[in-house]
Structure 1
C-alpha cells in the first residue's frame, strides 16, 4: 500500500532483539518513520466567489477584502507555501476603465486599491480573476473570482431643475398642495445620498407654507399649512434650499449648494363675514330702557362687502338690531325672572350676511348678563294675626318677601310707624335678616288694633312699603286661639291692607245709607196711601 502523508505523517515501531530460542535479549527500542511530503495536493480557495465593497474615490492602498485558500500539503514545506495573484480585471459595465485598479498581497490575500479614479457614476463594480499557487507561486494552482462593488458616497449635491417657480394658492385653504419643485442628483438613486430634503429658508416668517419630499420622485411638494389672507398679503416670495439625507462628503466639489425662488400668488376668495367676538358678552341693568344701544361695530367683512344683520334667536323678543349698521339695541324691558334667563344670563343669536354673490353668513351668540335693579319694594306678611294677652312676651311674627335679588332684597328692616296713639304701646323687635316680632310694650286691653308697619329692603336708597297690620288681642286657650267668638270676625287670618280696610268701612257705610233710603221711601209711600184714603171717605 502506498504511503500518504496527508493520512499518516509518521509511523512508530517497537523493535526487539531475540535469541534463536526466542528470548528477549534487551529492552525494546522505538523507531519513528517520518513520511516525507511530496507536492501532490493542489491549493483550493475557500469560496467559489469572494465579494467586497469599496467606497468610490478611495485612495490607493485602501483594503477592500481578504481571500483565503488552503493546501493539504505539509505547511512546513514549499509544497504548502501559497502565493496569491490577480490574473484578470473586468469592469462592470465593461470597457469603462482599463487601468489596473486593484492589487493583492501575495502572502495574506488582502485585496487593496492600486490607483485613483473609482467613481460609481462611471463603474459600479469590478470582477477579478484570482489565482493561488503553492511552491510560492510556482507549483500547483487554483482559480476563483472576486466581485468588488464600488459603494456610493455623497459626493454630488442635489441641484434644482429650475431656479424659479410660480404657483397659485387660494386664500383660507389649508392642507392643499399648490405645486412641486424638482431636483437632480448624480449619486446612486434611492439611497440616502440621493434622497432629498427641502427647506423653506426665507420668505415665510409666519409659517404659512410647508414642504415635503415625494419619496417616489424626489420632488418637493409645497402646500399651505396655515390659511393665507389675500387682503393682508397678495404675494409671497419663498427661498427654498435642498440637501441630501446624508451629509455631503468632503470629496464633493465646493460651493455646490442649490436654491430656488418660489413665487406664490394668493387668489382672492369670497370670505364669510366675521364677528369681532364670539360669544358677544354684554352687561345691562334689568331696568335698561327700551331703545338703549348695547353694542355696535360688532362684525366686519374681510372682502369689504356690504353687510346685513338680523336676529336669529331671541325667545323673549328683548333685542333688535339695525340691519345695516349692526347696532344692537334693547327692544323691551328685561325681566330677570324670565324662564330664558339662566344664572342671570340671557342668550340670543344674531346673524351677519355679506350681500355679495353667494351671501355667506356667520352667526354669533349674544350672552347678555343682566344686573339686578331695585324694582320692587318688599311686601309684609302676615297682615293680620292674634296676640295672646294672657301669655308673657307673646307677639306676632312678621316677615317679608321681595321679588328682587341680592343686594336689593334682604336684610329687611322692620319699623312701627308712630303717627297714631295706638303704636305707642307696641314695638317691633328685629329677629334676623328676614323676620321680626310685633309685640306690646305694656299690657293692653283685649280688642282689635290697626298698626302701621314699614318694611324696607337693603338697597341704598332703600325701597319701603307700609302696611296696616290687623292685630287681635285676646285671652287665648291652650291652642293659642282667642276664647271670645266676637274676636274671630275681625281677627281672621286673612290680611287687610289699609286701603282694603277703608273699602270695607266705606261699603258698610254705603249699605247703611241704602237701608236708610229704603226706610224713607217706605214711609213716604205709606203716608201717601193714608192721605188718599182720607180724601176718599170725604167724597162719599
Structure 2
C-alpha cells in the first residue's frame, strides 16, 4: 500500500558468519558433538580446562538458540511482501481551506483490481473525538480534512486505515495505524501567569534583585521560535530609581533596580513589563507591577531638649521621676520609630534605669538602687537614643550616616535624715520555753552618724511576749513563751524592733530578732477523737489516735493502758496494740448496742500520763461504716418519775382551789347544743349564763353567736329572734391599744382565721364533741378600764338577745363609752397659773429634781 507517490520497498536477509568467540564456536561446533573431553593426562590444568569447557558449552547453546531465531526471522522476511506504502501526513493548524481539502491518498497492492475493494478510516477525528475532522474516499483512497484544527487543542491524530472486499466486507489486509501531526503556527501570544502583581517592598531593600518574579507561558509548540519568549521593561512611574528585568530562563525573569527607595518622597511605583515571542509575526502581552514601599528606619530619633533637670531624695526607690521626650520622623509604632535608650556615662553604679514608654516613645527614668549621700549633691547622666531597627542610609547619598543623638540629665540628690543602722539586721537568740519572764535576750548595737538620741520601740510582737527598753533597746521576756503557740513557726518566734532618731523628720531603722525556743515536756498526750464508732458486724477493734504537741523526745511513741480503778473494765475491753503512735481498743466480749465510756491512760516517752475517757458507740453498721438508725428509747429514772407525780399533784391542787372559788355562781351550758342532730352546726361558743369568775383572765376569748339548724339561738333562758350570722366578732387586747377584728367561719372545714389569732375547730357528727386549739400571738393584759368596757359589751349582748320582736332592730354590740375630753396640748396655757407651789414640794422632791438637773447637764439639754 502507498501513501502519496508509489514506492516499492522490500526486505531480505543474508546469511552471515557469526563473529567473535561465539561465532567461531558455532562454526566449529555446529552441534553439541564437538565439545572437547577431559583426559587424565592433563592433571596440571584440570581447573582451567573445566572452566573453558563450561564456557564453551554455554556459548554453543547460546549460538544454537540465536541461529534458530535468526533462521525463523529470515524465512519470514523472505516470504513476506509489503502491502501498504507508508509516508507522513502533515496538516497545518488554523488552515484557511477551502474545505474539504485533500491531504493524502492510500495505496495497497494486495489486490490489483481497484473495483474489488474499498477503503475505510477510523480513529481520532473520525470515529473518536474530535469528530468530523477527516474522511476517506472509499474507492480512490484519498484522505480529506473537513475543517481547520487547533494544534494547542489537538497536537496529533491517531487514525487507522482498513481495506476490505466490496462484496464480502472481509479484511483484505491487516489494519494500518498512522499518526497525523499538526504543524504549529504562531497563533498564541505569550502571557504572564499574573497580569497584575502587587508587592510590598521595604524601604531599606538592598540594591539589586527584588522579590518580584515574572513567570510567563506560551501555548505554542515548544522549542520553536513561536514559543521562544523575551521579557522586557515597557515603562515605570516614577522614573527614579531605575528598574530592570533580568532573564532567568525562557519563561522566567526577575525584577531588579539600581539606587535607593525614599519612603518620604515616593510610596507607590507602577511598572509595566512585556513578554514577546519570536514568531512571525511576533506576539506579546503586558503585565502591571505595583510596588508599595513600606517605611523603615531612615531617620534617627532626636531629643526635644538638650538638657533635663530632676530632684530626688537619697535612699529612695522611685519608678518614674523623669520622662525624656524624643521625635522621630518614621512611621509611628514601627520598629524604625520605637526608641531605645542607653546610658553613656554617669550611671556606673547602676543606680538609675531607663525604659521606653510603648505609647509615647518617651524615656522613663527611675531609681532602682538606694543612693546614700553625705550631703546634697548634683550628678550628670548622659543618655543615648536609638531605634529598635538599624538605621538605613543609602550609599548613593553624598552625606555620611548620622550619629545617634545624646542628652544630659542633671540629677540633684537631696540629703535626708538617715535612719539608725543596726550592727546586725538579723539576730538569732535561743531560749527555753516556759522560762520565767524577765530575762534579757538581746541588746542591739545601733549607730547613727547624724543623731545621738535614739529611742527604741517594738514593731512586731504578735504574742506580746517581750519588752523593749526604750533607751537601750534591750529585748527581755515579758511572759512565758510557749513553743506550741500558733505564733511560733518551726520553733522560731519573730520580733522586730525599731530604732528612731530625733531628726526632722525622724527616721526609723529596723532590726529583726529570731528567738529559737527549746522544747520541754509541757504537754501531755491527748486523744484526737473523744468518740469512736465500733461496728460489731465488721470488726471488734477501733483505732485510738493520740496527739502530743511536744516534739521528740517528749512525744510518741505512746503507751496505752486501761484505768486500773475499774476492775470489770478488762472483762469487756483490752488494748491491742498498747504501744506506738496509735493504739487499738478491742471489744473482748460482745456488748449490746449503745454508748460506752472507756477510761484510758496515755503515757509519752518521758512517762507523762494523761487520763482521758473515750466514748465508744457500739452499733450495727450493715457494712456502711455508719451506725444504722435505731428506734428511740427513753429510760426515766426515779427522780423524773417523782417530778412528774409532784407536778400532777400541784395541778390538781390548783384546779381544786379554782373550782372552790368559782363554782358557786356556775351556770350550766344550755342543753340545746346537746340536742343538735347530725350534719348541723353546733354552737360551741355560747357564753351566756356562765359563772362570774373573779380571777383576772390571762386572755379574753371571743363572744360568738352561732346559727343552728332551725335558725334559732338559745342562751339557756329565752329564745332569740331568728337571725343568720356568717362572721364572728373577735376582740383582741394588745400591749398598746385595743383592736377589734373579724374572722370568717368556714362551715365546710370547721376552721376559723382571724386577725392576730388562729383557731382550729374539729368535731364529730355522732357525739357532737368539740375539740379546739388556739394559737395566739403575743398579748398582754390591759388596764381595768378595758375590762370594764368588755364586761359592759357582754351585758349588752346578753340583754339584747332577750327581746322577742320578730322584726329586725339595730343591736348594739360594742359600746366604747364616752368620747375623749382630752384637748390638744397646744391649747393649754400656763401663763396665768401660779407655779410657786413647786418650790415647796418638800426635800424628797428637791433631791429628785437635783438628780434630774444633773442628768440634763450631762446630756447638754437646753430648753
Name the SS for the 1:102 alignment partner.
strand
Distance 1:89 1:255, change over 3 A: closer
Deviations 1:51-81 (A, max 9, x none): 3455546666434421123232323444433
Is the 8 Å Cα contact of residues 82 and 136 (structure 1) preserved in structure 2? no
Is the 8 Å Cα contact of residues 17 and 25 (structure 1) preserved in structure 2? yes
Within 1, Cα distance between the matches of 2:180 and 2:388? 69
Residue 47 of structure 1 aligns with which residue? Answer: 194
Alignment of 1:112-261 (within 5 A): 112-135=255-278, 139-150=282-293, 154=297, 156-187=299-330, 189-231=332-374, 234-248=377-391, 253-254=400-401, 256-261=403-408
Residue 152 of structure 2 aligns with which residue? Answer: 6
Shift of 1:100: 5.8
Residue 15 of structure 1 aligns with which residue? Answer: 161
Is the 8 Å Cα contact of residues 181 and 219 (structure 1) preserved in structure 2? yes
Name the SS for the 2:274 alignment partner.
strand
Residue 448 of structure 2 aligns with which residue? Answer: 300
Residue 102 of structure 1 aligns with which residue? Answer: 243
Name the SS for the 1:166 alignment partner.
strand
Deviations 1:15-43 (A, max 9, x none): 34556656766555444332233443343
Q: Which moved more, 1:38-47 or 1:201-210?
A: 38-47
Within 2, Cα distance between the matches of 1:173 and 1:162? 26
Residue 72 of structure 1 aligns with which residue? Answer: 219
Larger strand proportion, structure 1 or 2? 1
Deviations 1:84-129 (A, max 9, x none): 33333234xxxxxx34621224655424334323233432331212
Name the SS for the 2:235 alignment partner.
strand
Within 2, Cα distance between the matches of 1:153 and 1:347? 60
Shift of 1:357: 5.3
Distance 1:141 1:172, change over 3 A: same
Deviations 1:322-346 (A, max 9, x none): 4xxx58699xxx99xx94699xx99
Residue 3 of structure 2 aligns with which residue? Answer: none
Residue 353 of structure 1 aligns with which residue? Answer: 500
Within 2, Cα distance between the matches of 1:278 and 1:299? 12
Within 2, Cα distance between the matches of 1:177 and 1:83? 65
Distance 1:354 1:20, change over 3 A: closer
Within 1, Cα distance between the matches of 2:175 and 2:211? 59
Within 2, Cα distance between the matches of 1:317 and 1:216? 53
Provide the TM-score with structure 2 as the length reference. Answer: 0.34
Distance 1:136 1:263, change over 3 A: farther
Name the SS for the 1:5 alignment partner.
coil
Shift of 1:137: 10
Is the 8 Å Cα contact of residues 83 and 136 (structure 1) preserved in structure 2? no
Shift of 1:218: 2.5
Shift of 1:177: 0.4
Distance 1:89 1:203, change over 3 A: same
Distance 1:74 1:306, change over 3 A: same
Distance 1:108 1:77, change over 3 A: closer
Is the 8 Å Cα contact of residues 63 and 110 (structure 1) preserved in structure 2? no
Distance 1:354 1:138, change over 3 A: farther
Is the 8 Å Cα contact of residues 158 and 243 (structure 1) preserved in structure 2? yes
Is the 8 Å Cα contact of residues 423 and 444 (structure 2) preserved in structure 1? no
Distance 1:101 1:64, change over 3 A: farther
Distance 1:255 1:304, change over 3 A: farther
Does 2:62 correspond to 1:62? no
Within 1, Cα distance between the matches of 2:259 and 2:493? 86
Unaligned 5+ residue runs, structure 2?
1-146, 431-437, 484-491, 517-863
Within 2, Cα distance between the matches of 1:346 and 1:68? 82
Distance 1:192 1:34, change over 3 A: same
CA RMSD of aligned residues (A): 4.8
Within 2, Cα distance between the matches of 1:222 and 1:356? 30
Larger radius of gyration between Structure 1 and Structure 2 = 2
Within 1, Cα distance between the matches of 2:241 and 2:426? 82
Within 2, Cα distance between the matches of 1:346 and 1:30? 110
Within 1, Cα distance between the matches of 2:360 and 2:475? 62
Deviations 1:369-417 (A, max 9, x none): 9xxxxxxxxxxxxxxxxxxxxxxxxxxxxxxxxxxxxxxxxxxxxxxxx
Distance 1:277 1:75, change over 3 A: same
Correspondence for 2:181 among 21, 28, 34: 34
Shift of 1:208: 1.4
Q: Which has the higher contact order (CA 8 A, sep 6+)?
A: 1
Is the 8 Å Cα contact of residues 299 and 352 (structure 1) preserved in structure 2? no
Within 2, Cα distance between the matches of 1:228 and 1:137? 88
Shift of 1:210: 0.9
Name the SS for the 1:119 alignment partner.
coil
Provide the TM-score with structure 1 as the length reference. Answer: 0.51
